[in-house]
Amino acid sequence: MRSQVVIVGGGPSGLLLGQLLHLAGIDTVILERKTRDYVLSRIRAGILETGLVDLMRNAGVSERMDKESFIHEGTCISYENELFAINFQKLIGQNVVVYGQTEVTRDLYDARDAVGAKTIFEAEDVRICDADTDRPYVLFAKDGAEQRIDCDFIAGCDGFHGVSRKTIPDTVRREYEKVFPFGWLGILSETPPVHEELIYANSPRGFALCSMRNQNLSRYYVQCPLTDKVEDWSDEAFWDELKRRLPEEVADKLVTGPSIEKSIAPLRSFVSEPMRWGRLFLCGDAAHIVPPTGAKGLNTAASDVRYLHEALTQYYRDKDIAGIDQYSETALARVWKAERFSWATTNLLHRFPDQTDFDLKMQRAEIESLHHNEIAQKWFAQNYVGLPY
């Protein structure tokens, strides 16, 4: 088998890259370790930056997003019993869109099916070979038989635990990581959102987040110790704790109900450099992880996709390798800015086990500066809606 580009990983970043390359006349094969149903069952964030919304439209997969998504012109932040809004539209003339990552993935699969592009599910034991030569290839097992795909380039969109990053030799790869000493306990419930905008809450009891998927599907989170387990938290205990972390005016309006999904996610910041080795390119979680504060995960993957799509298109259309040679440096420059925003917002809103009274006063001063300083709000808004590519 042969393809111009092999994409390892059938999540949203791999699918979006495949769709954009297809429109540029570039042949791709996607290898996905799991089944399609499994990929579509994963619950992820649903805040889309301006840049990702534009990419979806450029890829011709925005019809349902444009009809069903919710435009958010800002967000809210609370501390103790105070609640204030940061209006992106008023501050910088932009907004974000709420549209579930599962729906993004579904739309991209449907588009790939419509053009007959090849996706191989349950591809096991994927091995990336000779990526540092001009004749790379990928081996994998399917139904017990080994198969081979020869290609020009390989895009590693297979997440933090995938094979792509580990293919880059230890002597070349350098990794940076910060693990936060807490997690997010999240539930999904068929209840109306408590507020029209997202609420990020800092409280003496810890962080909380109120978000939504649609008008009758809400997503809520509370900061919890890493030692907690999902079974430690009944629905009643979750709702009671969430209310304690919100301003009274919000808590009084909260509609509760049975959870339909409950999980605990650890928080980490992680970057692997470089994002290119020979003809292998890393995209998204394969190269970097951000804590979910600020919703940069999928959006940062989308910026990688945009740079890589343009670089490969430039190569095939113009025989120009400049974009390929600059991909890692260009992508990492934006990645580190997204890492900074996620790290700063996480530090701003969470309670840390080793915080002193001085640290808490500084945190309070930072939040009040954001509350009352328009310049600080503009910086927050620019980063939240997404820095330009």
In angstroms, rounded to a whole number, what is the distance separating the alpha carbons of residues 41 and 157? 18
Tokens of 162: 């995938």
Look at residues 55, 277, 274 and name the one whose alpha carbon lies nearest to residue 154.
277
What are the residue boundaries of the structural domains of the chain, listed by start? 2-72+95-177+268-347, 181-267+352-385
Where helices occur in the chain by DSSP H, the ranges are 12-23, 36-41, 50-58, 63-68, 88-92, 101-115, 163-167, 235-244, 248-251, 297-318, 322-349, 357-372, 374-385
The predicted model gives 127-150 an average pLDDT of: 97
The predicted model gives 209-219 an average pLDDT of: 89
Per CATH, 2-72+95-177+268-347 and 181-267+352-385 having the same topology is answered no
- What's the pTM value of the predicted model, to 2 decimals? 0.94
- What percentage of the chain exceeds 90 in pLDDT? 95
What are the catalytic residues?
72, 200, 292, 296, 384
In angstroms, rounded to a whole number, what is the distance separating the alpha carbons of residues 290 and 346? 10
In angstroms, rounded to a whole number, what is the distance separating the alpha carbons of residues 82 and 86? 13
CB atoms within 10 A of CB 102: 17
Protein fold of 181-267+352-385: D-Amino Acid Oxidase; Chain A, domain 2 (3.30.9)
In angstroms, rounded to a whole number, what is the distance separating the alpha carbons of residues 53 and 305? 13
CA-only gyration radius of the chain, Å:
21
For 282-324, how does the pLDDT look when each residue is reduced to its tens digit (9 = 90+)? Answer: 999 999 999 999 889 999 999 999 999 999 999 999 999 999 9
CATH of 2-72+95-177+268-347 given 3.50.50.60, 3.30.56.10, 3.40.50.150, 1.10.230.10 = 3.50.50.60
For 89-129, how does the pLDDT look when each residue is reduced to its tens digit (9 = 90+)? Answer: 999 999 999 998 999 999 999 999 999 999 999 999 999 99
Amino acid at site 339? E
In angstroms, rounded to a whole number, what is the distance separating the alpha carbons of residues 228 and 219? 19
